[in-house]
Amino acid sequence: MTKDRNIGVAMDFSKGSKLALKWAIDNLLEKGDTLYAIHVKPPQGAESRNLLWSTTGSPLIPLVEFRDPAVAKKYEVDLDPEILSSLDTAERQKQVTVAAKLYWGDAREKLCEAVEDLKLDCLVMGSRGLGAIQRVLMGSVTNHVLTNATCPVTVVKDPGAHGF
């Protein structure tokens, strides 16, 4: 029963977001779905390319392109081998389409925008990203997206969070 859904995973390369990605691949994704790895970079003034994409975000970058170090460099994203390997596995074993999309701006807003933009059926994210405060149970981005996104949001707990 393929439904061809659009599943988004918020990716900031933190441990939590890697866990979220794995969870989505193991538990949510089905053949025919599209997996969007969404990364939000802080707004950067100078680069003209960024200015162009600051409203709409980057174009959709298929997996085959963004695993290329040259492309990653162009987008100023550090490729994480663990993430690439999860995405690769997803594409091959589950037969899903994998694409990345970058946004520049505030992660809270951009993730909510992405839900509409990419017509996500579901968004999966970690509970805490790279924020400095390690004591809180749930980061501010997750909190905001949980409240404001228009699709179901799955929060995968950060390992080592309070109580684990």
Contact set with other proteins (CB under 8 A): 3, 5, 23, 26-28, 121-122, 127, 137-138, 146, 149-157, 163-164
Shortest separation between residue 25's beta carbon and other proteins, angstroms: 9
Shortest separation between residue 149's beta carbon and other proteins, angstroms: 8
Q: Which candidate, 12, 6, 17, places its Cα nearest to that of 116?
A: 6
Query: How many C-beta neighbours within 10 Å does residue 99 have?
Result: 20
Shortest separation between residue 151's beta carbon and other proteins, angstroms: 8
| C-alpha dihedral sign at 82, 119, 104, 57 | positive
Q: Which is nearer to other proteins, 40 or 125 (CB)?
A: 125
> Max Cα separation, the chain?
47
Q: Which is nearer to other proteins, 56 or 93 (CB)?
A: 93
Residue 154, classed as helix, strand or coil, is strand
Shortest separation between residue 72's beta carbon and other proteins, angstroms: 28
Residue 143, classed as helix, strand or coil, is helix
Q: Which is nearer to other proteins, 44 or 148 (CB)?
A: 148
